[in-house]
Amino acid sequence: EAMLSEARPLAGKKAIVTSGPTHEPIDPVRYIANRSSGKQGHAIAQALARLGAEVTLVSGPVTIPDPAGVRVVRVERAEEMRDAVLAELPADVAVMVAAVADWRVASAAGNKIKKRPGETPPPLQLSENPDILKTVGHHASRPKLVIGFAAETENVAENGRTKLEKKGADYILANDVSPATGIMGGDRNRVKLIGRDGSEDWPEMGKDDVATRLAALVVAKLSE
Ligand code: CTP
Ligand code: CA
C-alpha cells in the first residue's frame, strides 16, 4: 500500500491542462492560428495522470495522439477553451500550456469571403480574446496551484515575471520560442522556472522530461 501511494502521489487530485493552439475563424474555411504542436501540454497532462491525478486536457486542434489516461476535451476557439476550462473548476492544479490566440476576428463571416480582383483586400478587424490563465489565477475557485508558460522571443526572464504577477500564477515556465531555438513544434524545450521568490534555469531536455520534472514540482507543492 505504501508503494501504491508513492507511485501515485497525485491520487485524488484533479488537474486541468490546456494545450495546443487555438483556431480563430475568419470565415467557414479560413482561420488564424499559431505554430504550437501541443507536445508540451500533452506531455504534462500525461505526466500528471501517470502520478495518479484525474486530468482533464482541454486541447486546441493538434495532430498528435491523445495522451493515455486523460480525459480530453477538444475545442477550437479561445472562448471555447475558456468555457471548457471554467467548467472543470474546482480543481487542485491548473497548468495552462496552450498557445491561446491573443485575438479573434471581431465578426467572422458566415460565408466564404470572395476574392474581388482589383479591389482593396478585406481588412481583418480583431478583438482581444479572454486570458484564460489570468481568469483562473484570479477566480473565486482558484486551484491551489496555478502554473502558466511564457512564450517569449526576447527579455525572457523579465517578461516571464511580469506574467507571473499579472496573471496571478504561482509559477511560470518561460521559454524562448524564437524560430532559431526550434522549441515551437520541436521535441525539446529549455525553460526558466519562475516562482514568487526566485527562479531557476532548467537545462535543455525533451518535452517529456520537462513534463516529468514539472509533475514532481506539482507533487511537492500540493503536499505542502
Ligand atoms: N494564456 C491564456 N489565455 C490567453 C493568452 C495566454 O491562458 N488568452 C496563457 C498561456 O497558456 C500561457 C500564458 O498565458 O500559460 C502566457 O501566454 P503568452 O502568450 O506567453 O502571454 P500573453 O499574456 O498572451 O502575452 P504576449 O503574447 O503578448 O506575450
Ligand atoms: Ca499570447
Residue 4 has pLDDT above 70, yes or no: no
Residue 223 has pLDDT above 70, yes or no: yes
212 vs 177: which has the higher pLDDT? 212
Residue 9 has pLDDT above 80, yes or no: yes
Q: Is 111 a catalytic residue?
A: no
Ligand 1 pocket by C-beta < 6 Å: which residues? Answer: 18, 78, 96-98, 100, 102, 129-133, 148-151, 163
Taking the CA of 132 as reference, the closest ligand is: 1
Active-site residue, from 34, 129, 175, 189: 34
d(CA 109, CA 128): 17
d(CA 91, CA 55): 10
Rounded to 5 degrees, what are φ and ψ at 221? -75, -35
Burial of 195 (0-12, 13-18, 19+ CB in 10 A): middle
- ∠203-209-212 over CA atoms, to 5°? 120
Q: What pLDDT score does 3 carry? A: 64
Cα 70 to ligand 1 centre (Å): 23
Taking the CA of 134 as reference, the closest ligand is: 1
Residue 5 has pLDDT above 80, yes or no: no
Rounded to 5 degrees, what are φ and ψ at 89? -70, 150
Cα 165 to ligand 2 centre (Å): 15
In this structure, what C-alpha cell is assigned to residue 24? 480563430
Beta strands in the chain (DSSP E): 14-19, 24-27, 30-32, 54-59, 71-74, 93-96, 103-105, 126-128, 145-152, 171-176, 188-189, 191-195, 198-201, 205-206
Rounded to 5 degrees, what are φ and ψ at 83? -60, -40
Taking the CA of 153 as reference, the closest ligand is: 1
Cα 120 to ligand 1 centre (Å): 33
Average pLDDT rounded to a whole number, residues 105-114: 96
Ligand 1 atom nearest residue 101's Cα: 8
pLDDT tens per residue across span 127-172: 999 999 999 999 999 999 999 999 999 999 999 999 999 999 999 9
pLDDT tens per residue across span 43-75: 999 999 999 999 999 999 999 999 999 999 999
pLDDT tens per residue across span 88-103: 999 999 999 999 999 9
Ligand 1 atom nearest residue 150's Cα: 20
Ligand 1 atom nearest residue 163's Cα: 23
